[in-house]
Structure 1
Amino acid sequence: MKKAGITILLPLLTLTGCAVSQKLSPPQDGKHVKVAVVKPADVDILPMKVIYRSERCRDKILTSTGAISSRDGYHLLTVPFKPEAGSNVVSNAVAFDGGGQCGWKLSNIRFQFRYHDFTKFGNKIEDDTPEDIVFIFDDAPPPRGNGHYEEIYGDVVIKKDYYPVILKEFTDIGGDILYIKGQPMLTYRVRSVKKILFEPVFHSNLIVEVLSPQQQGEGYLIMYPNGEKIIDHSFPYSKNTSYAFVKQKGS
C-alpha cells in the first residue's frame, strides 16, 4: 500500500466515536469472485493477499508535516488456493462484501507465484524472486507500482508467458538470484466480474543469464538463450527482458 509522507499510523477512528469491531463477517448470501489459476507442475501459487477497505472505520494518520488526516481503514486477509479435483486448477472464492460493523468492501487481491524447485537452475542460486499479479475492485489507487493498470469488464481469462532470468554472482548475497520474468507489473482494475482465470505459461528452456556491473557506471551484461549478449543499464525493468524480446533470441 502507498504510504508516502506518512510517519505514524494511529488507532482507528469511527464515525460514532465508540469502539467498533474490525472483524470481517461476510453475509452468507453475498456475492463472491472466484479466482482460479491453471497451475504449472513445477510452480507454486502462493496464497492470495486480500485487502478490504472501510469508509466507516478510518485510520488516523500523522503526516511528515505534522498534520493530522485520515484515510479509509483496511483489513488484510490471507486466502489460500485449493486444488480442484481432477484438474491442474487451484482456486478459491472471495467475498465482495466483507460485512462486519465496519462495512468492509473488497479493494484488491494480490498473489505471487514462483518455481517450486529453483535449484534445478543451478546450485549457486541463493534466492528467488517471485512474480505477482494484482486485481483491483474499487477506485482506490493500485497497491504497488507506478499507478498504471489495465481496465477489464466481466469474467476474464488472462494468459501470460514467463521464463527464468538468473542474475549471476550477485555480490550482496554471494550467489545467484532467480527471477521470473514476463510482462512486469500485471495490474488489472476489474468491473462486473464473477470469475477470473489466470493461466501462466512457463518457458523454462528460455534461460536468460545476467551479470552485474563490475564497476560503477557499467551496465548489466545480458546473455540470451541463442548466445547473443548485450549491455543493459535498466535491468530488471528493461524491455530487453520482455518475453517477446527474449523469444526472438531463443535457442
Structure 2
Amino acid sequence: MKLPSGRKKLNFLNNNYALLPFIVLLYGCDNTPDRTLSPPQNAKWVDVVFTLPADTVLLPMEVLYRSDKCKTVRYNSSNEPHNIPGYNDFEKPFGQQGSSNIWRTHIAIDGGGPCLWQLNSIKVSFKIADGNPLVKGKEVFATNYIFDFDDYGFSDGYGTGKAKESRGDLHIKTDFFPLVTHRDENDISLEFFGGETGYEKWRRRYKLHDTQKIFIEPNVHLTKVVTLIPPDQTEDRDFSAIYPDGNTEKIPYIYPNYKKLLSMK
C-alpha cells in the first residue's frame, strides 16, 4: 500500500533518529571519537616493569591507541580530506612496588570500547631528578623508549632511533652517562647518553610481536659526566668531548665515543 507523503516523512525521520544514539555513542557531542576503553575478558595485556636508578625520575607512560572503526579526517597538501584511523592518547602512571626501586604498570592490547581501540604504541621516559646538582642552569631532556604494536605510532623525534623487530618478552639493559652539551653561554642541556641510536644495537625503539612483559633496567653512571664543547671557529663544525677521565677529542656531530665511555664505567 502506498503511504501518504506525511507517513513517508515520518518513517524517514524515525529511521534516522534511531541511528542517533549510535552516532552519539561513537563520537559524542563534539564530533570526536568516544575514547572509552573497555577491554574484553580475553584481551591480551602487556606488563611494563622499570627499575629506576637512584636520583632519577620516571615519567608517566604515554599511551597511543588507534581505531579503524572511528576514523579521523586529515587533509593532504592539496587540502583534500581523507580518513585515517582515529587517535586515543593519554598518560598512564606507574605504581611503585612497595618501597623498592621497581615500578610497574600494565596496558591492554585490545582496548575495546565502542570504537574497538587497539594499542598502537607506548612511550616510557625517565630523566635526572631536579634535585641533582648537575641540573642547575641546564635544560633537561628525558630519555625515551618507544614500543610499537602496530604501524604509524609516535613520531621519530624522541631520540630513540628507528624501530627494530623483537619477539616475545623483552629485557633491556642500557648503560647511560650524563651528557652536558654547551651550545653557547646561555644554552646548556643535560640528558642521558646511551649510545648513538642511529646504530641498531643502541636503538631504544622496538616493533613488538607476541610480547607480554617488558623489563627496562637502565644503569646510570651519574659520576661519569661527559661534556660537549662547541667549536671555537665558525668553519669548524666538530664539537669536542671531554670524557670523565679528563681526556678531550674532536667528535663527529654531537655523539661522544660510547665504547670509550663503557670502558670507564
Which interval holds the TM-score relative to the shorter structure? 0.7 to 0.9
Is the 1:26–1:99 Cα contact (8 Å) retained in structure 2? yes
SS at match of 2:245: coil
Name the structure with the higher helix share. 2
1:70 aligns with 2:88: no
Counterpart position of 1:8: none
Q: CA deviation at 1:64?
A: 1.9
| Match 1:227 to one of 241, 246, 250 | 246
Query: Deviations along 1:185-218, whole A, 9 cap, x unmatched?
Result: 5101111111111000001122101112344332
Match for residue 81 of structure 1?
94
State the alpha-carbon separation in 2 of the partners of residues 109 and 122 from structure 1: 27
Match of 2:35 among 23, 46, 59: 23
Return closer, same or farther for 1:199/1:99 CA change in 2, 3 Å cut-off. same
- Distance across 2 between alignment mates of 1:88 and 1:110: 19
Deviation, 1:147, is: 7.1
2:113 is the counterpart of 1:100? yes
- The C-alpha deviation readout for 1:27-56, integer Å capped at 9, x for no partner, is 262321110101112111100000000111
Asked if the contact 1:26/1:95 (under 8 Å) is kept, the reply is no
Query: RMSD of the alignment, in Å?
Result: 2.3
Match of 2:225 in 1: 207
Q: In structure 1, what is the Cα distance between the partners aligned to 2:53 and 2:189?
A: 21
Q: Distance in 2 between matches of 1:143 and 1:35?
A: 21
1:150 counterpart letter in structure 2: K
Taking the aligned partners of 2:44 and 2:194, their CA distance within structure 1 comes to 32
For 2:204, the aligned partner's letter is: L
Secondary structure at the counterpart of residue 246 of structure 1: helix
| 1:155 aligns with one of 151, 169, 176 | 169
The amino acid that maps onto 1:181 is F
Which residue does 1:193 correspond to in 2?
Answer: 211
Report SS of the residue matched to 1:64: coil
- Structure 2 stretches of 5 or more lacking a match? 1-21, 28-33, 198-202
**TM-score, normalised to structure 2's length?**
0.78
Displacement of 1:121 in angstroms is 2.2
Pair 119,84 (structure 1): closer, same or farther in 2 beyond 3 Å? closer
1:118 deviates by: 5.9
SS in 1 for 2:152: coil
The Cα offsets for residues 229-250 of structure 1, whole Å up to 9 and x where unpaired, read as 1223411xx3x343x23223x3
Partner of 2:200: none
Cα deviation per residue 1:139-165 (whole Å; 9 max; x = unaligned)? Answer: 336632597222111112111110101
Give the TM-score taking structure 1 as reference length.
0.82
User: How many aligned positions are there?
Assistant: 227
Of 133, 137, 151, the residue aligned with 2:145 is 133
Structure 1 unaligned spans of 5+: 1-16
The percentage of aligned residue pairs carrying the same residue is 26
